[in-house]
Structure 1
Amino acid sequence: MTTAPAGASLDAPALRRRVAALVETHDPATTDQREFLAARFDAGLAWVHFPEGEGGLGAPRSLQAVVDQEFERLGFVPTGREGLVIGLGMAAPTILAFGTPEQRARYLKPLYTGEEVWCQLFSEPGAGSDLAALGTRAVRDGDTWVVNGQKVWTSLAHRAHFAILVTRTDPDVPKHKGMTYFICDMSADGVEVRPLRQLTGEAEFNEVYLTDVRIPDSQRLGAEGEGWRVAQTTLMNERVAIGGHPEPREGGLIAVAAHIWRTRPELRTPGLHDALLRLWVEAEAARLTKERLRQQLAVGQPGPEGSAAKFAFSRLNQEISGLELELLGEEGMLYDDWTFRRPEGVSLAARSPGFHYLRSKGNSIEGGTSEILRNIIAERVLGLPGEIRVDKDVAWKDLPK
């Protein structure tokens, strides 16, 4: 006799009934948002494909859209979630895949409700594109690890309660084999966060210095030395979170450029018309491709296709923001965003054309540089020969620094 898998009896009508029952006891119009999200988590309606008791019901991932649409129809659309993108899009799936039962019970619910904010301690000044070359050291001392190093380009570190952290634990083996992954308490002694002001005038990112930071071994994700494997789960989900988010037709930056074209006829030239049409078609093709990616994601785990979505997102944002400046001419050169700010998240809404242009330059760096993503697409999607890597079997300590 076979046993039906968890969630096998759930279908779209059953999930709609569950949503209705929750809304009946927790009116979205009168219930505090965090309280409502906590009730949604407890009802298994946060991530329906997660296990029961951990925000889900063990249902097919494809049914998540049914739940989200039903909550929206009944009047609940959570707001102010921009600062949770790392926790929701990267930490949660990694904790689900590699966390112990105790870790999942401790971190998933406050992560989902927004009670606790997360950041990502991956990139380093000397190992940006090549993450596996990182040098932040973690040395075991009994039941704890002592961590020393520096991380850079860390979004939300100034607000974060916890971080997902990759370290070097064995310098005597090749770089991909000597890494270990941890959950780091950002309030721990030795964690210092410094603002990193960027081209736009904002300090959206941070530098994080780790000096003799002690992390209990109970906060390790995955086995010692398997940090690269764990990090791959995070990175695949990160690229989907950045480049695979849903948009309506003519959404995102192409909407801004199209609006300028329609409302400012005096700015039109034949050459700009051709450029706008080309980018509009490419943006629509990218949107439909992302929709297919999300459908694939609904029945499995994110793969290298997410790298292609993120690569296309970066290139289009940069080209469209450049076209926006061309359309506006001298007017597009005006810039009034130099005030020092610490934004809660990244949003291009209601920002100036100059901000669009400057901020989009970072799109080809964050979440994996476009050069690295080209390699992933070539090797893992197209099946082309791999790039020659002379350091593959060399111990990390022997690599040029």
Structure 2
Amino acid sequence: MDLTYTPEDEAFRAEVRAWLGDHLSGEFAELRGLGGAGRDHEALDERLAWNRHLAAHGWTCVGWPTEHGGRGLSLWQQVIFHEEYARADAPARVNHLGEELLGPTLIAFGTPEQQQRFLPRIVAVEELWCQGYSEPGAGSDLANVQTKARIEGEHWVVDGQKVWTSNAHFSDWCFVIARTEPGSQRHHGLSFLLVPLAQDGVEVRPIEQLTGGSEFNEVFFTGARTDADLVVGEPGRGWGVAMGLLGFERGVSTVGQVVGFARELEDLVALAKTNGAFDDPVLRDRLAQAKVELETMRFQALRGLSTVTGGQDSAAGGGAASIFKLVWAGWHRRLGELAMDVRAADGLAAAGAPYQLDQWQRLFLFSRADTIYGGSDEVQRNILAERVLGLPREAKGAG
């Protein structure tokens, strides 16, 4: 794998860096660093305005083909964009699920009519999306989905419950995995539906988190309706579409995620030097180990991107996507624990009443979920064992 950048790539990096430097100013200057995991409630309207500013200048959906409204950037140029976006400390984008997940899925699996209907609105950040996968009895085990949908005339009618639905409380649409063939089991008989949320048959209930935010939600569908042609792929064969989408989830934006992790680590080292924790040889060694692991993680992410085509599931590329999820989730969770050790007793009390958390307390609490959401560690290991290494499937109900 050649990790060198061409002169054209470096010129593009300078273009991105200059644009962000010029435009993260004025009304947008105060948005630096806002949003992100556990903090999606921060400056929502202002971040939405920033997202639309990006769109107006052609900086959304940069990896999409030009015929679908993107820039058609090469893989390495996409890496550069996400790295520079993270280095500029630009605010977390509100439109991530539409831009990084649903849009590429529609490009790969959608009809021309679906592409024409939805893609321009995603590029322009006019419609926001959430993901209706997990259920109370089917978290990482998507083949156990119980939400049902049936055709009535010109509509699908959806009944069921989704949970841990990120950003459903401000989204316009939800892509939903539902069982559309009565009596079907596991991954058979599922369909991938596009469902509008602004209707009487949909109720969204935010779930308050340990961090104080409510980015996750319960979503109840009770006779909710969507047009009959808003099924992506063939009815009853939505499993392949759903798995393709999960391949996009671990795409090029993960490199920017690593840059964000590096900033967190740098800030933690600075804190350790300020409060004296850096003088402890054990803590100093753990900080150094975290740095080494992070550098290794970045190269692992780049190698994975070079071997996996967008839309492939987690078994592709020798399980590169699953390996990377295991690596970054465990690393980030350990970083939260390390932050609490660096803070020592000062980290045990809230920064203010009634429950004001500082960045390290929020990191520690939210990172406890890193090894669960987006496909738990157990699921990723099963993918690697069964679908990459060819080991026998785990016995269900054992123990």
Scaled to the shorter chain, the TM-score interval is 0.7 to 0.9
Aligned to 2:33: none
Alignment of 1:360 onto 2:375: no
Quote how far apart the aligned CAs of 1:103 are: 1.1
Aligned to 1:385: 391
1:248/1:144 Cα in 2 relative to 1: closer, same or farther (>3 Å)?
Answer: closer
SS at match of 2:169: coil
Aligned to 1:224: 235
In 1, the alpha carbon distance for the partners of 2:263 and 2:89 equals 20
Quote how far apart the aligned CAs of 1:108 are: 1.3
Q: Is the 8 A contact 1:221 1:230 kept in 2?
A: yes
Alignment of 1:257 onto 2:262: no
Q: Which of the residues 123, 129, 133 maps onto 1:112?
A: 123
1:28/1:79 Cα in 2 relative to 1: closer, same or farther (>3 Å)?
Answer: closer
In 2, the alpha carbon distance for the partners of 1:124 and 1:300 equals 23
Aligned to 2:36: none
Aligned to 2:224: 213
Map of 1:36-55 to 2, 5 A cutoff?
Answer: 37-38=54-55, 47=61, 50-55=64-69
Aligned to 1:130: 141
Amino acid at match of 2:286: A
Aligned to 1:396: none
Q: Is the 8 A contact 1:249 1:287 kept in 2?
A: no
In 2, the alpha carbon distance for the partners of 1:131 and 1:372 equals 10
1:249/1:105 Cα in 2 relative to 1: closer, same or farther (>3 Å)?
Answer: closer
In 2, the alpha carbon distance for the partners of 1:173 and 1:57 equals 41
The count of residues paired between Structure 1 and Structure 2 equals 356
Q: Is the 8 A contact 2:177 2:191 kept in 1?
A: yes
Identity of aligned residues (%): 32
SS at match of 1:91: helix
1:234/1:325 Cα in 2 relative to 1: closer, same or farther (>3 Å)?
Answer: same
1:159/1:241 Cα in 2 relative to 1: closer, same or farther (>3 Å)?
Answer: farther
Aligned to 1:374: 381
1:337/1:122 Cα in 2 relative to 1: closer, same or farther (>3 Å)?
Answer: farther
Map of 1:346-357 to 2, 5 A cutoff?
Answer: 351-357=358-364
Q: Is the 8 A contact 1:337 1:355 kept in 2?
A: no
Amino acid at match of 1:110: R
SS at match of 1:164: strand
Please report the TM-score for the alignment, with normalisation by the length of structure 2: 0.77
Aligned to 2:346: 331
Quote how far apart the aligned CAs of 1:39 are: 5.5
SS at match of 2:288: helix
Quote how far apart the aligned CAs of 1:387 are: 2.0
Structure 1 stretch 50-59 or stretch 138-147: which is displaced more?
50-59
Please report the TM-score for the alignment, with normalisation by the length of structure 1: 0.77
Structure 1 stretch 227-236 or stretch 245-254: which is displaced more?
245-254
Structure 1 stretch 319-328 or stretch 296-305: which is displaced more?
296-305
Map of 1:1-400 to 2, 5 A cutoff?
Answer: 37-38=54-55, 47=61, 50-56=64-70, 61-64=75-78, 68=81, 80-240=91-251, 243-248=254-259, 251-265=262-276, 268-296=279-307, 303=316, 304-336=319-351, 351-381=358-388, 383-388=389-394
Amino acid at match of 1:314: A
Q: Deviations over 1:364-390 (max 9, x none)?
A: 111111110111233344x24142356
Quote how far apart the aligned CAs of 1:281 are: 1.5
Q: Deviations over 1:155-203 (max 9, x none)?
A: 1101001111100111323311110001111112211001101222221
SS at match of 2:236: coil
Amino acid at match of 1:372: V
1:291/1:168 Cα in 2 relative to 1: closer, same or farther (>3 Å)?
Answer: same
Q: Which has the larger radius of gyration?
A: 1
SS at match of 2:246: helix
Quote how far apart the aligned CAs of 1:363 are: 0.9
The RMSD of aligned alpha carbons is 3.6
Quote how far apart the aligned CAs of 1:240 are: 3.6
Q: Is the 8 A contact 2:165 2:219 kept in 1?
A: yes
Gaps of 5+ in 1: 1-10, 342-349, 392-401
Aligned to 1:347: none
